Structure 1
Amino acid sequence: MEKEELMILLLKLMKKNNIKAIIFDLDDTLYPEEQFVESGFRIVSKYISQKYKLNDGEVLNILKKDFKKGLRKKNFDVLLKKLNLKKINVQKLIKIYRNHYPSSIFLYPDVKKIFKKIKNKFKIGLITDGEKITQKNKIFVLGIEKYFDEILITSILGKKYFKPSKKAFELLLKKFKVLPKESVYIGDNSLKDFI
């Protein structure tokens, strides 16, 4: 079955089952989050390299290798230790990473095509965890804000309301005036995207 045929079939099934709202996750659902991570690592590497006259390619390679080995927290602490840099404030690096404007992130193929197909048939929402500025920058660069009726960045509610908390889902459904059984959520992580 071709993608187009599958999409038409899914839309018919959703209409038949009285689905009125489709809510999406952002990171790793609409685009590969690793692109954002690498973009952030580039900015941080450039900052460190300029400040300490280091080769930014080497700094970037350390970050990327550690990330590929599975390091997901304390990346900058580990980097600074490897580079023997003690004067840099890790919080500053985190801020640079989170606030950077990710110029090299791209939607998965067919995402915009899908949005155009469903836009006038369903209420479309986005629920995403993360810092407000970080997620807003991603949404802007991806050029997808116009496809959503509502966007909810959970950090605005507080970290205790990050997914899998029901709060964000309940708020969006209330705004859409639809029941949970009238909605579909599309995400990539079964541990946090499903409640």
Structure 2
Amino acid sequence: MLKFEDLNNNIQAVIFELDDVLYPQKDYDLQVFYLFANFLEYLEQYPPANDVIEFMSKRYEAHGSKDIFKETSRTFGIDEKYEENFNSLYVNAKLPLKLLLYKEVLAFLQELVVNRKQIYIVTKGNPQKQFNKIKHLEWNGLENYLKVYYVEEFNGKLNACIAKVLEDNQMEAQQVNFVGLAKHEEDVNLIGMGFIPID
């Protein structure tokens, strides 16, 4: 559980991952499916948007986003020309609903700000898509205290991105904690940085 009082006194900053750490990634993905299904129904009058949304949602829960357009296209006979629209929507979607931070994470971020700790986000994936997610998050006024780094700008290497955060802000690894997915714990520990896993 994230608790500010568990941080060591020497910690100056906390680095967060984005997807499934600050907010549930599925909240973004499912809204993209909703927009795509309604776009398709509007243009083609078939298939019914609700059927497409239900199929995409169930497949996503079972298999994630991999090949989701291909499987949806095969199931409903959707023309492959719409894959470009789907991919573009994934990157640039104007979501109907704001993305909400996990409550526990929001409280932790607010504590960091009150106690004048620095906050950084490092995020993997297409930088334009990741920025779009950040733009649609409800930050509750915290957006002015964040600095974002995109892992793809460092050849997709998380270690190199973290090293840049430390260099830019003149910090030692021991002064920073990393909040992220458990699968990245080993990489972060190699840098000598404290790791707080999000399950």
User: Is the structural similarity TM-score above 0.5?
Assistant: yes
Assess if the C-alpha contact under 8 Å between 1:35 and 1:104 holds in 2. no
Report the counterpart of residue 16 of structure 2 in structure 1. Answer: 24
In structure 1, what is the Cα distance between the partners aligned to 2:122 and 2:33? Answer: 25
Amino acid at match of 1:154: V
Assess if the C-alpha contact under 8 Å between 1:20 and 1:183 holds in 2. yes
Query: Residue 117 in 1 paired to residue 111 in 2?
Result: yes
Amino acid at match of 2:165: L
Assess if the C-alpha contact under 8 Å between 2:124 and 2:151 holds in 1. yes
Report the counterpart of residue 132 of structure 2 in structure 1. Answer: 137
Question: 1:113–1:64: structure 2 CA closer, same or farther, 3 Å change rule?
Answer: same
Amino acid at match of 1:30: L
In structure 2, what is the Cα distance between the partners aligned to 1:73 and 1:107? Answer: 24
Assess if the C-alpha contact under 8 Å between 2:123 and 2:151 holds in 1. yes
User: CA deviation digits over 1:68-119, x for unaligned, max 9?
Assistant: 2214311001101111123424132111122102324211114333222212
CA RMSD, 1 decimal: 2.1
Amino acid at match of 1:124: I
In structure 1, what is the Cα distance between the partners aligned to 2:80 and 2:63? Answer: 26
Assess if the C-alpha contact under 8 Å between 2:118 and 2:145 holds in 1. no
Alignment gaps of 5+ in structure 2: 188-199
User: CA deviation digits over 1:115-151, x for unaligned, max 9?
Assistant: 2221243221110112222222222222342231x21
Amino acid at match of 1:134: K
Paired residues for 1:172-187 under 5 Å: 172-187=165-180
Report the counterpart of residue 70 of structure 1 in structure 2. Answer: 63
Question: 1:109–1:71: structure 2 CA closer, same or farther, 3 Å change rule?
Answer: closer
What number of residue pairs does the alignment pair up? 181
What TM-score, normalized to structure 1? 0.83
Runs ≥4 residues deviating over 4 A: none
Assess if the C-alpha contact under 8 Å between 2:16 and 2:121 holds in 1. yes
In structure 2, what is the Cα distance between the partners aligned to 1:24 and 1:60? Answer: 31
What TM-score, normalized to structure 2? 0.81
Report the counterpart of residue 6 of structure 2 in structure 1. Answer: 10
Report the counterpart of residue 39 of structure 2 in structure 1. Answer: 47
Alignment gaps of 5+ in structure 1: none
Assess if the C-alpha contact under 8 Å between 1:21 and 1:123 holds in 2. yes
Relative to total residues, which structure has the larger strand share, 1 or 2?
Answer: 2
Assess if the C-alpha contact under 8 Å between 1:21 and 1:176 holds in 2. no
Amino acid at match of 1:7: K
User: CA deviation digits over 1:5-33, x for unaligned, max 9?
Assistant: x735314xx21xx2222101111111111
